[in-house]
Structure 1
Amino acid sequence: MSCPLPFPPAEEQLQILSFLNHETARIDALVEEQQRLIELLKEKRQAVISHAVTKGLDPDVPMKDSGVEWLGEVPAHWNVVKFKYLIAEFEQGWSPQCDGDQAETLDEWGVLKVGCVNYGVFDPTENKRLPDNLEPRPELSIRKDDLLISRANTRDLVGSAAHVPMDYPKLMASDKIFVVRLHQRICRSRYAVVYLFGKGVRHQIELQATGASSSMLNIGQGAIRELWIPLPPDSEQDRIVHELEKREADFAALEQETVRHMRILNERRSALISAAVTGKIDVRGWQADQQSKQPEILMAAETRATYG
């Protein structure tokens, strides 16, 4: 089977290669800028969370020394306690040999995978269906306001936490997930989730993580129980969570827009290459020091204008 190929003269081939090397490098540089922007957004998000859960929302509130070096000062009216004093129950799940399929309805028993808590949002679809020949363990079913924490994962995800918003009577935690039930009148689960995402706390958790491979590290219960947590009054916890959820929506929108621009840049890169090698763009008179007039390249200016 033969496939016809456009075959320009050698001199024109070199001109096409020079053009594409120059212009794709410009697009690649813009893609790298977008990737750096995503990393900066992640760092900014973590910094905003850390500040809110250690300094509060009022910049004029009196402060005091927390007594914990890595926490620094906290609002004077907050308590600073260890996590273990907030815990009513601390359980670990069960990992039977499950089917590869997902439990698709609330009537099917399933075992949650560790990915159900990634990035602070509970995803009940991250589960495996319990085989019919195995007896479920209803005592491991997750409930409204449970705090789920990954016990084993990669370095950046071990210790990830999520709040369960409702009862799931037929979903059970796996043994890679801690199920923590807090005294809700003292510490809201949603507040604990955002606190566990803060930079200082993440550092403390990662220090406790052990394992031979960076692709699967483990933490023990003590890594969570012994954590210090600054604790505002419950009404202030709710305000902090509400404010952070609004900020999170802004960060998510910016990240989605950045990903969209990366996708467009990559699509235009492919289109540019295709157009150049098929003769749809005449590059015979092109020089590297002249501004490209091709619409694909003008995407660079559009991207810079959007993000400054």
Structure 2
Amino acid sequence: MELYKNFKDSEIQWLGKIPEHWKLDRIKNIGSVKARVGWKALKASEYVKSGYFFLSTPNIKKVDIDYNNVNYITKERYYESPEIMLNNGDILLVKDGSTLGIVNIVEDLKSKGTVNSSIGVLRLKNQHNKYFFYFLKSNYLQNIIGLKKEGMGVPHLFQKDINNFILTIPPLKEQSQIANYLDSKTIAIDKKIKLLQQKVKYFKAYRKTLINEVVTKGLDKNVKLKDSGVKWIGEIPEHWEIRRIKDIFNTLAGGTPSTGESSYWVGDIPWIPSGAVQNGEVNKDIVKSYISEEALLKSSTKMARKDSILIALTGATCSNIGYLNFDTTINQSIVSIDSNHKKVSHRYYFYFLISARDKIRTLMTGGAQGGINQGDVKYFKICACSKSEQQQISDYLDARTSTINKIVENIQIQIKTLKELRKTLINDVVTGKVKVST
């Protein structure tokens, strides 16, 4: 790409030099920022089945605004805030919470709508709105917005903050050229990203299907099958059996040493909460806390041995499965499954429980913040086959899933690279680091 011939110092940190013929100004001098404030704040109880759509943060976080999964408000609520009645070209900026800084632009508006109190509506006078949409997405401005996320409490951008953002302002014709160029380039990049994301989805689905098939049917495609008597398992090899976890394994749940005893938390014994169990290998690099021998002896925490299988019992991680690669103590939201039996391959049953995760999750009670009873885990039904078959299956799945995981990892690296390229391209073009050819 070309470079501009003449530059001047913007005297602004992170922005540096800009093309000599570009101007700088604050949003308040070339446009307006409006938002729903004060007593006009809406409550969920006021939503109606149809009417005027009402955008919230999840509706604007993707490439295209989601006009389908929206709430609706009455005509009265819509018309009481004319300053935020949406028009094509309006730039939307999330100004509250952890998603602070998300930007989108209203295009192809097909009905009347407005926004909630977390979204600011930016309108610029005699400017090309799409150029400034890209400018708000630039690394330069996102870094400024990012400063507001630091510190205590919920991050928030006040309208005065947004009004004082300093923008680079090329001539209007150049704004249009830049916006058109970035439309073309970002659409092409987004298409590549979408295709790669579809590949990731395919390989993850394939991995899941592969595991489900092999742990319940084995590797011999010619083996005679019989009904397992368990609906979700279906047919199994004729010589296999259905057992319960308690018939093969010992199970134990952990605990949390008292945080009031400082001596409990000075030691070299690893201790992990359920958040450490993330459907896969549980490695020592996730350990954040260590406890003392005294804590192990005097509290309800338990030691889970290396090669045992962990199941998270509560909350957001409930039903997550992990294969433990080191000895550690665990908290009360984890159950450890372990066996000293010589005829048991822990690795096979790790894959079996991975395949059973959706079924295990149905044991949850108490809603999203509820959990699974350890007793239900003990009586959960599993397949039982010979140690040699277990070993063959686990070796096969180790190899196959490792290959699939590497493919997924490589694709995700490509996606990350494209996303970074997109960010860099937008930033360099809207801040004048490179020139769009006319």
**Taking structure 2 as the reference length, what is the TM-score of the superposition?**
0.56
Following superposition, the deviation at residue 121 of structure 1 comes to 0.8
1:26 to 177, 188, 193: 188
8 Å CA contact 1:276, 1:283 repeated in 2: no
Alignment correspondent of 2:357: 202
Following superposition, the deviation at residue 183 of structure 1 comes to 5.1
- Tell me the distance in 2 between the aligned counterparts of 1:121 and 1:217: 24
Summarize the Cα distance change of 1:130–1:280 in structure 2 as closer, same or farther, 3 Å threshold.
closer
Q: 2:339 aligned with 1:182, yes or no?
A: yes
8 Å CA contact 1:16, 1:283 repeated in 2: no
- Tell me the distance in 1 between the aligned counterparts of 2:353 and 2:275: 16
Aligned length: 270
Q: 2:311 aligned with 1:149, yes or no?
A: yes
Q: 2:257 aligned with 1:116, yes or no?
A: no
Q: 2:86 aligned with 1:86, yes or no?
A: no
Alignment correspondent of 1:72: 234
Following superposition, the deviation at residue 281 of structure 1 comes to 3.9
Alignment correspondent of 2:434: 280
- More deviation, 72-81/22-31: 22-31
Following superposition, the deviation at residue 134 of structure 1 comes to 5.6
Alignment correspondent of 1:287: none
8 Å CA contact 1:122, 1:164 repeated in 2: yes
Which amino acid in the other structure matches residue 14 of structure 1?
Answer: S
8 Å CA contact 1:120, 1:194 repeated in 2: no
What is the DSSP-based 3-state SS (H/G/I as helix, E as strand, rest coil) of the residue aligned with 1:180? Answer: strand
Alignment deviations for residues 78-109 of structure 1 (CA, whole Å, 9 cap, x no partner):
1112222112x32110112459xxx9x9x712
- Unpaired runs of 5+ residues, structure 2, are 1-9, 23-169
Which amino acid in the other structure matches residue 248 of structure 1?
Answer: T
Summarize the Cα distance change of 1:235–1:160 in structure 2 as closer, same or farther, 3 Å threshold.
same
User: Which structure is higher in RCO with an 8 Å CA cutoff and minimum separation 6?
Assistant: 1
1:129 to 277, 289, 305: 289
Summarize the Cα distance change of 1:22–1:243 in structure 2 as closer, same or farther, 3 Å threshold.
same
Which amino acid in the other structure matches residue 73 of structure 1?
Answer: E
**Taking structure 1 as the reference length, what is the TM-score of the superposition?**
0.78
Q: 2:420 aligned with 1:267, yes or no?
A: yes
Following superposition, the deviation at residue 126 of structure 1 comes to 2.9
8 Å CA contact 2:177, 2:436 repeated in 1: no
Alignment deviations for residues 19-42 of structure 1 (CA, whole Å, 9 cap, x no partner):
112221221232222223222222
Summarize the Cα distance change of 1:132–1:74 in structure 2 as closer, same or farther, 3 Å threshold.
closer
Summarize the Cα distance change of 1:57–1:131 in structure 2 as closer, same or farther, 3 Å threshold.
closer
Alignment deviations for residues 113-169 of structure 1 (CA, whole Å, 9 cap, x no partner):
223332221223333434669632398222244322211242xx4222333355x3x
Summarize the Cα distance change of 1:27–1:44 in structure 2 as closer, same or farther, 3 Å threshold.
same
- Unpaired runs of 5+ residues, structure 1, are 285-308
2:324 to 144, 164, 168: 164
- Tell me the distance in 2 between the aligned counterparts of 1:270 and 1:128: 33
- More deviation, 130-139/45-54: 130-139
Following superposition, the deviation at residue 279 of structure 1 comes to 6.4
Following superposition, the deviation at residue 194 of structure 1 comes to 0.5
Following superposition, the deviation at residue 186 of structure 1 comes to 4.0
Summarize the Cα distance change of 1:162–1:276 in structure 2 as closer, same or farther, 3 Å threshold.
closer
- Tell me the distance in 1 between the aligned counterparts of 2:287 and 2:412: 27
- Please say which structure displays the higher CA radius of gyration: 2
8 Å CA contact 2:321, 2:357 repeated in 1: no
What is the DSSP-based 3-state SS (H/G/I as helix, E as strand, rest coil) of the residue aligned with 1:135? Answer: helix
Summarize the Cα distance change of 1:175–1:60 in structure 2 as closer, same or farther, 3 Å threshold.
same
8 Å CA contact 1:113, 1:127 repeated in 2: no
1:234 to 363, 371, 387: 387
Summarize the Cα distance change of 1:147–1:271 in structure 2 as closer, same or farther, 3 Å threshold.
closer
Following superposition, the deviation at residue 47 of structure 1 comes to 0.8
2:176 to 14, 17, 37: 14
1:55 to 204, 217, 224: 217
8 Å CA contact 1:92, 1:177 repeated in 2: yes
1:248 to 390, 394, 401: 401
- Tell me the distance in 1 between the aligned counterparts of 2:218 and 2:293: 51
Summarize the Cα distance change of 1:174–1:125 in structure 2 as closer, same or farther, 3 Å threshold.
farther
